[in-house]
């Protein structure tokens, strides 16, 4: 598989929406595998996401520009354990209502500067899911926040569902952040705004299994 690290963010517009189960789920993962950025609605908030293995400066800058800037990467729990990325001590160790547990942030130990730039966080995402990465290849704490998804997760939340499917596809996990409202910059985008954003930027949009 050829991965173009600086591939364009935009993609041909597919179905406007669907549930995140069945064919829509397959379509979402196929888009992520091709290096596309997608919009997901999980019933309470909108998120921009892309696959960790194909994270580029272009992808990451686009996500940061249109979101809260709090960039996270969802990874299967066994990978977090192998890389010695612990859950955040101050928070409960069990998964929250979104289907994952919050871990500490990390930076790539080599090839980054401050760790906060789009280029640095994109590199950190790729390093996190590379098969050869060892715990010593990461700096803790860092600027890309990790969340852990249990392999046995069976809920309908979008982030853990896509994360596990990406892991099965060899792309490690999902980089994501909450989409902000373009009209009310202190608020997160609602479903209507997320839909308009997806249409404006020619991005695929997917809903969780509980959304009609």
Q: How, if at all, do strands 38-41 and 205-207 pair?
A: parallel
- Which of 17-31, 54-68, 125-139, 142-156 comes out lowest in average pLDDT? 17-31
pLDDT of residue 99: 83
| pLDDT above 50 (res 179) | yes
Q: Which residue has the tokens 């909108």?
A: 46
Q: Average pLDDT, whole number, for the chain?
A: 84
Cis amide leading into 141 (omega within 30): yes
pTM of the model: 0.84
- How many CB atoms sit inside 10 A of residue 139's CB? 16
CA 121 to chain centre: 12
Q: What is the structure's pLDDT at 174?
A: 96
d(CA 52, CA 5) in angstroms, rounded, equals: 11
Q: Give the three-state DSSP class for 154.
A: coil
Tokens of 9: 């963010």
């Amino acid at each position: 598989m050829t991965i173009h690290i600086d591939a364009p963010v935009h993609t041909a517009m597919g179905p406007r929406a669907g549930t995140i189960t069945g064919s829509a789920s397959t379509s979402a993962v196929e888009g992520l595998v091709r290096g596309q950025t997608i919009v997901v609605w999980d019933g309470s908030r909108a998120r921009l996401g892309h696959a960790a293995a194909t994270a580029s400066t272009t992808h990451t800058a686009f996500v940061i520009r249109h979101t809260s800037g709090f960039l996270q990467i969802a990874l299967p729990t066994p990978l977090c354990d192998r890389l010695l990325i612990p859950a955040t001590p101050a928070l409960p160790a069990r998964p929250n209502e979104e289907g994952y547990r919050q871990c500490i942030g990390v930076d790539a130990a080599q090839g980054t500067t401050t760790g906060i730039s789009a280029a640095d966080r994109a590199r950190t995402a790729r390093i996190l899911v590379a098969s050869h990465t060892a715990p010593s290849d990461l700096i803790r704490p860092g600027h890309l926040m990790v969340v852990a998804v249990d392999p046995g997760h069976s809920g309908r939340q979008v982030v853990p569902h896509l994360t596990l499917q990406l892991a099965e596809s060899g792309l490690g996990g999902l980089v994501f952040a909450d989409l902000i409202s373009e009209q009310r910059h202190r608020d997160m985008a609602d479903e209507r705004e997320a839909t308009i954003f997806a249409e404006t930027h020619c991005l695929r949009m997917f809903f969780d299994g509980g959304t009609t």
